Amino acid sequence: MGIVGILLGLGLFVVLLWNFAIYALPAFVGFSTGWWALNHGAGIGCVVVGLVAGVAVFLAGRVALMSPSGAVRLLVIALFTLPAVYTGYNIVLQLSEVGIQSPIWRHVFAVVGGTIVGCTAFIRLKTPVEVLPNDFTTRCG
């Protein structure tokens, strides 16, 4: 049971890292704002400030993705994808230091990992947001 628990925990950790890398921009804004609030005396309220800022950036990005302008959508996709590429590169680079001796191969794997994370972020953001049907409340209520 111990090995199964370790594998499940490791899998959960990888999924959390993956989602963190995909949504790096709201996470970065949330952490930065929370850290700023902590340094300015907010105490435990810094968690709330950080969460509100991160969720606001995420929701603003979602609203901007519904814009009819293709240029606005492309700009928002780029704003979310570029930090995801950078975060994916750094996560793979740090994790590859555990088992890979050659720094060249670590960077090669990091570039591949950053590219995969960036492509995933691009595809997730390019896919239109599902809209609930009009009779959703009548069927569920």
The DSSP code sequence of 68-99 is: S-HHHHHHHHHHHHHHHHHHHHHHHHHHHTTT
Q: Residue 29: what pLDDT?
A: 92
Residue ranges of domains in the chain: 20-128
pTM value surpassing 0.75? no
Half-sphere exposure of 65 (CA within 13 A, CB side): 20
Query: Residues 15-59: pLDDT tens digits?
Result: 887 777 778 889 899 999 999 999 998 889 999 999 999 999 999
Is the separation of the CB atoms in 118 and 91 below 8 Å?
no
Mean per-residue pLDDT for 7-22? 81
Residue 141 predicted with pLDDT over 50: no
pLDDT, greater one: 87 or 130:
87
CA 15 to chain centre: 11
**DSSP 8-state class, residue 41:** T
Q: Which residue has the tokens 């199964």?
A: 4
pLDDT category at 8 given cuts 50, 70, 90 is confident
Tens of pLDDT, residue by residue over 73-118, are 899 899 989 999 998 899 889 988 888 889 999 999 999 989 998 8
Three-point CA angle 116, 84, 118, nearest 5°: 30
According to the model, what pLDDT value does residue 135 have?
Answer: 53
Do the beta carbons of residue 51 and residue 30 sit within 8 Å? Answer: yes
Place of tokens 């603003």: 60
Closest by CA to 109, choosing from 124, 120, 98, is 98
- 131: pLDDT confidence band, cut at 50, 70 and 90? low
Position 129 scores a pLDDT of 59
Maximum separation of any 2 CA atoms in the chain, in Å: 60
pLDDT interval class at 140 (50, 70, 90): very low
Residue 8 in tokens: 């499940």
User: Per the structure block, which two tokens stand in for 39?
Assistant: 């340094």
